[in-house]
């Protein structure tokens, strides 16, 4: 079945540091790929997504590129802020007439001033 593997946290960075959270996936066909973010005490919200190979999703300074050849969708940000502290989930959804999203385990990011 489909699966998503992402690095376990927590990840602790100083403000303005470079962030990479790795995500690789296993799926049949060409799934859509997502990064969701969960701030403390809230539900998940979409951060960015990509629906086909070589697409780059970007939002709020975060970026991720759909790499079919390496089945990866790594999340990056050039300069993190304290307000980026949250849990980040990589996810995939198969193409087709239904959506059964598979989430990674989540990576907790803590940014310290």
The two tokens of residue 101 are: 């999203």
Whether the Cβ atoms of residue 113 and residue 15 lie closer than 8 Å to each other = yes
Residue 100 near other proteins by CB under 8 A: yes
Which distant-in-sequence residues (6+ apart) come within 8 Å of 98 by Cβ? none
Stretch that binds other proteins, among 10-18, 63-71, 73-81, 86-94 (CB under 8 A): 86-94
User: Quick one: which of 104, 107, 109, 111 contacts other proteins (CB under 8 A)?
Assistant: 104
Binding to other proteins in span 24-83, by CB under 8 A: 31-32, 34, 36, 42-46, 49, 51
Q: How far is CA 98 from the centre of its chain?
A: 21
User: Quick one: which of 24, 65, 72, 102 contacts other proteins (CB under 8 A)?
Assistant: 102
Which distant-in-sequence residues (6+ apart) come within 8 Å of 14 by Cβ? 111, 112, 113
User: Quick one: which of 86, 93, 107, 109 contacts other proteins (CB under 8 A)?
Assistant: 93
Whether the Cβ atoms of residue 21 and residue 4 lie closer than 8 Å to each other = no
DSSP codes of every residue in 70-84: TTB--EEESS--GGG
Number of residues located near other proteins, criterion CB under 8 A: 26
Shortest Å, Cβ 22 to other proteins: 16
Residue 89 near other proteins by CB under 8 A: yes
Q: Which spans of this chain sit near other proteins (rule: CB under 8 A)? A: 31-32, 34, 36, 42-46, 49, 51, 89, 93-106
């Amino acid at each position: 079945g489909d699966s998503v593997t992402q690095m376990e946290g927590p990840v602790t960075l100083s403000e303005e540091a470079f962030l990479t959270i790795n995500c690789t996936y296993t799926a049949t066909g060409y799934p859509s790929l997502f990064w969701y973010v969960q701030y403390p005490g809230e539900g998940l919200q979409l951060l960015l997504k990509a629906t086909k190979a070589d697409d780059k999703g970007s939002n709020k300074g975060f970026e991720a590129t759909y790499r079919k050849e390496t089945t990866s969708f790594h999340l990056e940000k050039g300069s993190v802020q304290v307000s980026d502290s949250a849990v980040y989930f990589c996810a995939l959804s198969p193409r087709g007439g239904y959506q059964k999203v598979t989430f990674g385990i989540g990576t907790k990011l803590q940014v310290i001033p």
